[in-house]
Protein backbone atom coordinates (compact mmCIF):
# COMPACT_ATOMS: atom_id res chain seq x y z
CA UNK A 1 0.00 0.00 0.00
CA UNK A 2 1.09 3.52 -0.69
CA UNK A 3 0.54 4.69 2.86
CA UNK A 4 2.41 1.80 4.50
CA UNK A 5 4.85 4.06 6.29
CA UNK A 6 2.34 6.80 6.94
CA UNK A 7 2.43 7.73 10.63
CA UNK A 8 -0.87 7.49 12.46
CA UNK A 9 -2.61 10.83 12.66
CA UNK A 10 -3.15 10.60 16.39
CA UNK A 11 0.58 10.35 17.01
CA UNK A 12 0.84 14.12 17.37
CA UNK A 13 -1.67 14.06 20.19
CA UNK A 14 -1.46 10.78 22.08
CA UNK A 15 1.45 10.16 24.42
CA UNK A 16 2.60 6.59 23.77
CA UNK A 17 2.60 4.01 26.53
CA UNK A 18 5.72 4.19 28.67
CA UNK A 19 6.91 7.52 27.28
CA UNK A 20 7.53 10.27 29.80
CA UNK A 21 5.89 13.62 29.13
CA UNK A 22 8.88 15.49 30.51
CA UNK A 23 12.50 14.56 30.99
CA UNK A 24 15.28 16.68 32.37
CA UNK A 25 18.96 16.05 31.86
CA UNK A 26 21.50 18.26 33.59
CA UNK A 27 24.43 19.15 31.39
CA UNK A 28 27.59 17.26 32.31
CA UNK A 29 30.00 19.92 31.08
CA UNK A 30 28.34 23.28 31.59
CA UNK A 31 27.45 24.45 35.06
CA UNK A 32 23.85 25.06 36.07
CA UNK A 33 22.66 24.12 32.65
CA UNK A 34 20.28 21.43 31.56
CA UNK A 35 18.01 20.18 28.82
CA UNK A 36 14.31 19.50 28.99
CA UNK A 37 12.69 17.01 26.65
CA UNK A 38 8.98 17.63 26.34
CA UNK A 39 7.01 14.96 24.51
CA UNK A 40 3.92 15.64 22.35
CA UNK A 41 4.39 19.39 22.41
CA UNK A 42 5.31 21.80 19.67
CA UNK A 43 6.17 25.45 19.08
CA UNK A 44 2.97 26.53 20.83
CA UNK A 45 4.29 25.72 24.27
CA UNK A 46 8.03 25.65 23.64
CA UNK A 47 8.24 29.17 22.28
CA UNK A 48 6.06 30.38 25.11
CA UNK A 49 8.25 28.84 27.81
CA UNK A 50 11.39 30.03 26.09
CA UNK A 51 10.10 33.60 25.94
CA UNK A 52 9.05 33.45 29.57
CA UNK A 53 12.45 32.10 30.64
CA UNK A 54 14.21 34.91 28.82
CA UNK A 55 12.24 37.42 30.87
CA UNK A 56 13.83 35.94 33.98
CA UNK A 57 16.96 37.90 34.89
CA UNK A 58 18.56 34.81 36.41
CA UNK A 59 18.35 32.87 33.20
CA UNK A 60 21.43 33.20 31.04
CA UNK A 61 20.36 31.07 28.12
CA UNK A 62 17.09 29.58 26.95
CA UNK A 63 16.36 28.14 23.53
CA UNK A 64 14.37 25.31 22.04
CA UNK A 65 14.34 23.19 18.94
CA UNK A 66 12.17 20.59 17.31
CA UNK A 67 14.69 17.90 16.35
CA UNK A 68 12.54 16.29 13.66
CA UNK A 69 9.19 17.32 12.17
CA UNK A 70 7.81 13.79 12.47
CA UNK A 71 8.82 13.35 16.08
CA UNK A 72 6.49 15.25 18.32
CA UNK A 73 9.14 16.34 20.73
CA UNK A 74 10.67 19.65 21.70
CA UNK A 75 14.06 20.08 23.31
CA UNK A 76 14.55 23.09 25.56
CA UNK A 77 17.97 24.02 26.85
CA UNK A 78 18.27 26.32 29.85
CA UNK A 79 21.27 27.81 31.59
CA UNK A 80 20.97 29.95 34.69
CA UNK A 81 23.37 32.48 36.14
CA UNK A 82 24.18 30.76 39.39
CA UNK A 83 23.98 27.39 41.12
CA UNK A 84 21.57 28.91 43.61
CA UNK A 85 18.93 28.93 40.91
CA UNK A 86 18.80 25.72 38.91
CA UNK A 87 17.37 25.36 35.42
CA UNK A 88 14.64 23.20 36.92
CA UNK A 89 13.65 26.03 39.22
CA UNK A 90 13.68 28.50 36.38
CA UNK A 91 11.55 26.13 34.34
CA UNK A 92 9.04 25.77 37.17
CA UNK A 93 8.95 29.51 37.76
CA UNK A 94 8.26 30.13 34.08
CA UNK A 95 5.49 27.54 33.99
CA UNK A 96 3.95 28.92 37.16
CA UNK A 97 4.00 32.46 35.79
CA UNK A 98 2.41 31.32 32.53
CA UNK A 99 -0.19 29.33 34.39
CA UNK A 100 -1.07 32.41 36.40
CA UNK A 101 -1.23 34.58 33.33
CA UNK A 102 -3.68 32.21 31.67
CA UNK A 103 -5.66 32.05 34.88
CA UNK A 104 -5.96 35.81 35.23
CA UNK A 105 -6.93 36.15 31.56
CA UNK A 106 -9.56 33.47 32.05
CA UNK A 107 -11.05 35.43 34.95
CA UNK A 108 -10.92 38.65 32.99
CA UNK A 109 -12.70 37.16 30.00
CA UNK A 110 -15.29 35.45 32.16
CA UNK A 111 -16.18 38.73 33.85
CA UNK A 112 -16.27 40.42 30.45
CA UNK A 113 -18.74 37.81 29.20
CA UNK A 114 -20.85 38.44 32.28
CA UNK A 115 -20.75 42.17 31.72
CA UNK A 116 -22.05 41.70 28.19
CA UNK A 117 -24.80 39.41 29.39
CA UNK A 118 -25.87 42.01 31.94
CA UNK A 119 -25.88 44.78 29.35
CA UNK A 120 -27.93 42.62 26.98
CA UNK A 121 -30.43 41.90 29.69
CA UNK A 122 -30.97 45.52 30.67
CA UNK A 123 -31.20 46.50 27.01
CA UNK A 124 -33.85 43.90 26.24
CA UNK A 125 -35.85 44.71 29.35
CA UNK A 126 -35.76 48.44 28.65
CA UNK A 127 -36.59 48.35 24.97
CA UNK A 128 -37.49 44.94 23.68
CA UNK A 129 -35.69 44.07 20.49
CA UNK A 130 -33.41 47.09 20.54
CA UNK A 131 -30.03 46.60 18.98
CA UNK A 132 -27.31 46.16 21.54
CA UNK A 133 -24.10 47.97 20.93
CA UNK A 134 -20.84 47.60 22.75
CA UNK A 135 -21.32 47.87 26.48
CA UNK A 136 -19.85 50.85 28.26
CA UNK A 137 -16.24 50.59 29.24
CA UNK A 138 -15.72 48.82 32.51
CA UNK A 139 -13.54 50.53 35.08
CA UNK A 140 -10.11 49.01 35.04
What is the C-alpha to C-alpha distance for residues 19 and 52, in angstroms, rounded to an integer?
A: 26
Q: Are 72 and 41 a contacting pair, CB within 8 Å?
A: yes
> How do strand 73-80 and strand 33-39 relate by DSSP bridges?
antiparallel
Residue closer to another protein (CB basis): 61 or 85? 85
User: Within positions 5 to 64, which residues make up the interface with another protein, using CB under 8 A?
Assistant: 8-10, 12-14, 20-26, 32, 34, 38, 41, 43-45, 47-48, 50-52, 56-58
- Least separation in angstroms between residue 127's CB and another protein is 19
**Options 62-70, 94-102, 122-130: segment touching another protein (CB under 8 A):** 94-102
Q: Distance between CA atoms of 16 and 73, rounded to whole angstroms?
A: 12
How many whole angstroms separate alpha carbon 83 and alpha carbon 22? 22
Do residues 32 and 86 make contact, with C-beta atoms less than 8 angstroms apart?
Answer: yes
Which CB, 92 or 127, lies closer to another protein? 92
Among 7, 63, 106, 118, contact with another protein (rule: CB under 8 A): 106
Please name the helix (run of DSSP H) or strand (run of DSSP E) that holds residue 59, with its range, or none: strand 59-65
Residues in contact with another protein by the rule CB under 8 A:
8-10, 12-14, 20-26, 32, 34, 38, 41, 43-45, 47-48, 50-52, 56-58, 83-86, 88-89, 91-93, 95-106, 108-110, 112-113, 116, 134, 137-138, 140
Amino acid sequence: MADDNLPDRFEAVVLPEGVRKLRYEPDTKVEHCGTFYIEREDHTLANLIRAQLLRDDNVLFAAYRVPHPLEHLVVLRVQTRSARYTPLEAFCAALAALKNEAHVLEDELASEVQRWAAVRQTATSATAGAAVGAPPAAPR
